[in-house]
Structure 1
Amino acid sequence: MTAGELSTTEERNRRYTIYLIVVAVLGWSLASYDSNILTLTMPDIASEFRLTSGVLGVLGFIVYGAEFVLALFVGWGMDRRGRKWMWMFCLLVAALFTGLTFFVQTFWQLAVVRALASGFAQAELAVSITLVNEQVPSRRRGLLYSIVQGGWPIGVFLASGLYLLVGGLGWRTVYLFGVIPLIIVAIGRSRIKESERFQHLKAMRAAVASDDQQTVDRLQAERPMDVDDLHRGSVRQLFATPGPVRTTLVRLTIAWLCYSTAYVATNVYITYWLTTAKGWTSGQAATLLLVSGGIGFFFYLFGGVLGERFGRRNVLVVSGVLVGPLNLVLLLVDSHVWVAVLFFIVYQATNGTWSGAGYAYQAESFPTRVRAPAVGWMGAMFVGGLMVGSLLWTILNEVGTLTLAWLVIGVAIGVAQGIATFFLPNIRPGQELEQIAT
């Protein structure tokens, strides 16, 4: 290849990488939009359908349950049908049921439609983790994927802005407006390439199944792979085969369950806690969250940069270690200024820096032959932690006090999150995925 041809190829690859990141950011932003618009429209929905707070809790549990199941389904689907196919499928189904929300007339219609819309929208995360990290250059993998994760606060702003603009036309209209950008992104996503690593895995499976040793040897030379493990199947390799893959999965599962359980206190019920325990108004709490989320976009990038420089596991360690102690201090202080400062740091540790480094870390922790189902499993574990945290929050507030709930979920489980990160494998950044795990 001549110097001119090499330059042209590099430029074409660079343009494609930029296009891939833009499409992924837009998709994750719209998934965030779909999730946060439910929070914003909840009072209007409760008023129209005359729902009690207890019934709203049931709605949230149904939505979480759907997200849990669909994350597992999407992991399996990526492994069998392909990354791009599942990316398109998730977005189109999310668009369909987001639009159908406009027409619901009963609580159970609402529950089913929102469960499917939110479930497939959140499944976007597992697919983008897998496909994007398999296609971007290894030397910038963490930084580039942190940009994708930064789509979450963008979605929060989209949801808030559109609700303010068209909310006066009725809460249903807000969902209807969400369909248009979802379809546009789906059209743009049709130009995305399938992951070469998945195509290689698919070809290897076919060669092994047909006992074509010559093709197996050729594919092994292209990308090393443990051929013996292909006979076991992805699920068996993950859960039933002793070794580094299962050990890594167990350690990541514990860390992410602790993370998302503690996340409930500082991100899901934080407005209630601030207004009830600290005497804030709902407007003050909303302003704090808006500022934290807006500036938080840059902390996703900051987490990605730190991960490239010092290692993504080390960013997770520092982020995780901060959560429990800061939540304890947050409980003890009363000054509005100190509460705001401490919460801002906690917010960035539980969102920006953790996510900016953590999801690229998930992708590089597993070999290609099990990456999709492993990442799908981790997506389910995040939702599982939210379900556990919400259940604990309800029980502890019923049998104890709000302070007890904060101490157990925000402080004790936050400390457990920090401890769990020390047991994660330390992966040197900048390596090709096949160098990390085969």
Structure 2
Amino acid sequence: MILRHPIERVITTMNIYKKISADGWQPQQLTIKDVKFATWLAFFAWVFAVYDFILFGTLLPEIGDHFGWDEIEQAKLATWVAAGGAVVALTVGPIVDRLGRRLGIVFTVTGAAISSLLTAIGGAWGKGVLVGIRSIAGLGFAEQTVNATYLTEMYAAINDPILNRHKGFIYSLVQGGWPVGALVASGLSALLMPIIGWQGSFIFAAVPSFIIALLALKLKETPQFQIHQHIRRLTEAGQPEKARQVAKDYHFEYADHQRTGLSAIFRGTSLRTTLVLGGALMINWFAIQIFGVLGTTVITKVHDVSFESSLWVLVLSNLVGYCGYLAHGWLGDRFGRRNIIALGWMLGGLSLATMLYGPADFSLIVILYSAGLFFLIGPYSAALFFFSESFPTAIRATAGAFIIAMGPIGAIIASMGATSILSSGGNWQTAALLFGAIPCFISGVIMLFAHHVAPQSVK
């Protein structure tokens, strides 16, 4: 996953994290092998978290048919699942800022595996139980926050000049696990559904996540978190002067490590960043819910495409979506992540609106839907890295989790809006425009109000 040219180089001895502090303490040292392993594992962890997340939306029409739930009941179920997932995802950040990035990956991937396994039997216990089970999948959704926090710090700790110029592109390979996971969910659904049914598909999805969780135990903690943890321990032990000296030795702001928890992301310069990024993501997730999670429903209802054909539309469009991740990661390194994210989401909104109201030609649907996903999900390779770069170490995971948790809230609003339109006699074409394509464009405009972050300033 990590390119051989940028980072398989001798690391400079000037790296601040190799320093021994005045009290004789030193963080655990990283090697190139550690960073490569972390990058590969983060990629696969995200792929299989997305696999479970998208699998539910992809198979929702089949689950509904199995239990006799109509379209409105399915939309309501998706709304409650999104609400539960948002609450669960919000808890991840403070846990990761307290226990560490390594354990955060283990925790979130295990949660995704358990959710997938239980989904196979949860529907038989009623919609309420199924909502609770699928809410646990919010841990898998939050895995991207842990990845972004972990790799932002790992890449900064290695502090390689060439890697510093390409880290956005390298991270795009990891965050590209979204379209890969969606592709796996769509492709395997098409292949496995006739053989093992939807229940078997969820059981099958749990296995790789359990394997990834075990492998994650071999990860090393980031030096930044180790320093933060050491400062906190010294402070709690009644040795604030030693804690201040450690912060000074590693060029950290001591005050930043005293302002932790959810309230800290609404203070000082972090306030504007939290509101702008959280607002943009929430609005953008209107489109994610409509065109990503419920993509098969939109395509089948708007253009009368069969369920099987809609799965292959998702397969093809997600292949293009992965290219969008790489493109936006590469462009973000060169023209600024904020600007590339904003432009991408605006173009995504235009592409998806055109798909909704264009001719019902299968080839044209594939082209426009693919372009829409290219610009809708592609910018997330730059967005997740940008979110982590925008906050200090002490609240990096908490802030990231809060911002990411705004996504499911946006999904809830979009689902409620779509349900309202359908209940009042409207159709999916109107619902997808008002609660999908237009919000996608608006989210890009909101991103322009975020602070610019110089990558070299990130610790």
TM-score (normalised: structure 1)? 0.88
* Alignment size in residue pairs: 423
Residues 1:303 and 1:194: Cα distance change in structure 2 (over 3 Å): same
Alignment check: 8 A CA contact 2:348 2:373 kept: no
In the alignment, the residues of structure 2 paired with residue 69 and residue 232 of structure 1 have an alpha-carbon distance, to the nearest angstrom, of 23
In the alignment, the residues of structure 1 paired with residue 58 and residue 314 of structure 2 have an alpha-carbon distance, to the nearest angstrom, of 13
More displaced 10-residue stretch of structure 1: 142-151 or 208-217: 208-217
Residues 1:153 and 1:229: Cα distance change in structure 2 (over 3 Å): closer
1:22 to 2:40 alignment: yes
In the alignment, the residues of structure 2 paired with residue 159 and residue 329 of structure 1 have an alpha-carbon distance, to the nearest angstrom, of 26
Q: SS of the residue aligned with 1:131?
A: helix
Counterpart in 2 of 1:41?
A: 59
Alignment check: 8 A CA contact 2:256 2:392 kept: no
Q: 1:175 aligns with which of 177, 180, 202?
A: 202
Alignment check: 8 A CA contact 2:279 2:446 kept: yes
1:215 to 2:243 alignment: yes
Q: 2:130 aligns with which of 92, 101, 110?
A: 110
Residue by residue over 1:105-147, the C-alpha shift from the partner in whole angstroms, topping out at 9 and shown as x without a partner, is: 412443332322x222212122111112211244433122211
Query: Structure 1 residue 44: deviation in Å?
Result: 4.1
- Paired residue type of 2:385: A
Counterpart in 2 of 1:342?
A: 368
- Paired residue type of 1:111: V
1:133 to 2:152 alignment: yes
- Paired residue type of 1:175: F
1:191 to 2:211 alignment: no
Alignment check: 8 A CA contact 1:207 1:216 kept: no
In the alignment, the residues of structure 1 paired with residue 57 and residue 324 of structure 2 have an alpha-carbon distance, to the nearest angstrom, of 23
In the alignment, the residues of structure 1 paired with residue 47 and residue 167 of structure 2 have an alpha-carbon distance, to the nearest angstrom, of 20
More displaced 10-residue stretch of structure 1: 333-342 or 289-298: 333-342
Identity of aligned residues (%): 27
Alignment check: 8 A CA contact 1:75 1:376 kept: yes
1:393 to 2:418 alignment: yes
More displaced 10-residue stretch of structure 1: 174-183 or 336-345: 336-345
Q: SS of the residue aligned with 2:449?
A: coil
Residues 1:194 and 1:370: Cα distance change in structure 2 (over 3 Å): same
More displaced 10-residue stretch of structure 1: 20-29 or 173-182: 173-182
In the alignment, the residues of structure 2 paired with residue 413 and residue 170 of structure 1 have an alpha-carbon distance, to the nearest angstrom, of 35
Alignment of 1:2-151 (within 5 A): 7=10, 13-104=31-122, 105-107=124-126, 108-116=128-136, 118-137=137-156, 138-151=164-177
1:413 to 2:439 alignment: yes
More displaced 10-residue stretch of structure 1: 418-427 or 279-288: 279-288
Alignment check: 8 A CA contact 1:320 1:421 kept: no
Query: Structure 1 residue 232: deviation in Å?
Result: 4.2
Residue by residue over 1:29-83, the C-alpha shift from the partner in whole angstroms, topping out at 9 and shown as x without a partner, is: 1111112222343344334433333333343223212210111110110111212
- Paired residue type of 1:202: Q
In the alignment, the residues of structure 1 paired with residue 278 and residue 52 of structure 2 have an alpha-carbon distance, to the nearest angstrom, of 26
Counterpart in 2 of 1:3?
A: none
Query: Structure 1 residue 400: deviation in Å?
Result: 6.4
Alignment of 1:278-293 (within 5 A): 278-293=303-318
1:360 to 2:385 alignment: yes
Residue by residue over 1:368-403, the C-alpha shift from the partner in whole angstroms, topping out at 9 and shown as x without a partner, is: 121111001011011111111111122233346335
Alignment check: 8 A CA contact 2:86 2:405 kept: yes
Query: Structure 1 residue 304: deviation in Å?
Result: 1.0
Residues 1:411 and 1:400: Cα distance change in structure 2 (over 3 Å): farther
Query: Structure 1 residue 299: deviation in Å?
Result: 1.9
- Paired residue type of 1:325: L
Query: Structure 1 residue 186: deviation in Å?
Result: 1.5
Q: 2:285 aligns with which of 236, 241, 260?
A: 260
In the alignment, the residues of structure 1 paired with residue 186 and residue 348 of structure 2 have an alpha-carbon distance, to the nearest angstrom, of 27
Counterpart in 1 of 2:347?
A: 322
Residue by residue over 1:267-305, the C-alpha shift from the partner in whole angstroms, topping out at 9 and shown as x without a partner, is: 344443434334444444333221111232222111111
Q: SS of the residue aligned with 1:136?
A: helix
Q: SS of the residue aligned with 1:358?
A: helix
Alignment check: 8 A CA contact 1:27 1:182 kept: yes
1:163 to 2:189 alignment: yes
Residues 1:408 and 1:56: Cα distance change in structure 2 (over 3 Å): closer
Residues 1:305 and 1:68: Cα distance change in structure 2 (over 3 Å): same
Residues 1:160 and 1:251: Cα distance change in structure 2 (over 3 Å): closer
